[in-house]
Every structure is written in C-alpha cells, then in structure tokens.
Amino acid sequence: KWKPGVTPPTSTSVYQLVRVESLSVYLNPNGSPSLPFYPRIWEFSNLVNWKSIMYRSLRKFSIDNEDFEFLVKPFTTKIKVIMNQSNTGQVSRMLVDIVLQDVAMQISEQQFSSFCKLWTSLQQGPVERSRLVQQAHPNGPVKENVAEWWKYALTAVREQNIRPYTWEYIKNHRKNYKLYKETFMQTILRPNDTELKLDLQKYEDNLTILNIIIAREEGRIELKKKEPECVTVETLNSTDIKLIVNSERLQELA
C-alpha cells in the first residue's frame, strides 16, 4: 500500500507517502536583503525574481554568498499519511506517521537577540499605528529618495514613540478598551449575535494582543460578579478555566 499506484474509487482509505528532503530552519541576524529593495506593492516580476533567488539559495544553503545560520539543520524524513473517507465516526479521519532519525537544533546569541527584538517590535503598538507607518514607507532605495525616507523616519518615530503618550491617545485607548471589554461580555451572553462580533473585531483592530487578553479576562471576572446565577466558572487546571452560560436563566431575567 506504500507503493505508487492509483487508489480505487470504492476505497475508503487513501495512503500518501511524502518524502521531505533537506528541511531546515535558518535565521541570519545580519543578513543582507535578497532583493535590492522591497516594494510596497508587489508586482508579478518582483515575485518571480524573489522566487528565483530563494530557489537558488535553498539549493546552495546560502544567499548572496552568505551561508545560512541554521536553527534546525537540514534533515530528510518520510511522512506516511492515512486518510479515512468513511462516514463512521469511530475511525480517525487522518493518521500521520513521521519517520525521523535525528535532528540537530542550535541557537546563537545573535539569533536569540534577534528573536527578542522581533517580539518587542510585535508588542510596540496597535495595528492602526503600524498601518500608518506602512503607508508612509517609500518605494525606492534610500540613495535615490532621501527626503521621502527622512519623512518616513519622522512618521515612524512620531507614531511609535510620541503619539502613544499624548493625553488624547490615552483617552481614546481607554475608551476603546472599555468598549471592547463590554462588547466581549455581551458576546459571551449572546454568542450568535453577528453584529456584536463585527463590533468586537472593530475594537480589536486598535488593541495589542496583551490588551485583548487582559480585557477578556477582566470581562469574564466582571460577568461572573454581575450575573452569578447565569454564569459559572469551571476550573479545568491551574491555567485554564471554562465559562458556562445558563441561557435559560438569561431568558427568564429578560
């Protein structure tokens, strides 16, 4: 069944054998860009050039004469997949078997520092401020468009390091945070309300991941205090909880 062939139409099981060659993960902290500059709007020619460069690089494990700095060194493996197409619910839909001899992993101090910087950059601010910075991103190289790049640097500093600490921004942020928390509480009580979900997404776009997590946890606690008869909290383990909403009780109160 693991030899090449055609699966009969009446068969309820499909067998797939996948061979993975030279799978690896690399990170060059001080690597040079693969393209002279990255355009804001990608055209088909840019995609073709980038794909050709990456294809050649993966064959040589280097890009622009710079060797890859591997996090996971290249390895080869076989993956066996069994997909069950029967309608009986007692059989697993998919079984995956990975045959792996050995894998070498490593991380340098520079790579770890790059991961920390990446994490910091992801926590710097809401999506809206990132969009404003991206809109001001110049298309051409620095040498050919110095004024636009200076304008871009000014916009980035203003949006990332100055504007978030103005009172107007803080006031709007607190208002948006409160609206998100209240809307999230309503979505728990009315999970099938589409308009509430759209409002929740709108407020969510202006908050960081950390703000969203804190707002949701705070909303759950407040909901438990406001509606103790309608909402119960079940502790699954030391880190996970399950919120149970009594819909019948809510309808009685309404």
The pLDDT tens digits of the residues spanning 16-55 come to 888 888 889 999 888 877 777 666 666 777 778 888 888 8
3-state helix, strand and coil shares in percent for the chain, rounded to the nearest 5: 45, 20, 35
Determine contact, residues 32/64, Cβ cutoff 8 Å.
yes
Domain boundaries, the chain: 167-253
Lowest mean pLDDT among 10-14, 102-106, 153-157, 169-173: 10-14
CA distance 81 to 151: 53
What is the model's pTM? 0.44
Beta-carbon contacts of 127 under 8 Å, excluding residues fewer than 6 positions away, are: 205, 206
Lowest mean pLDDT among 94-98, 183-187, 249-253: 249-253
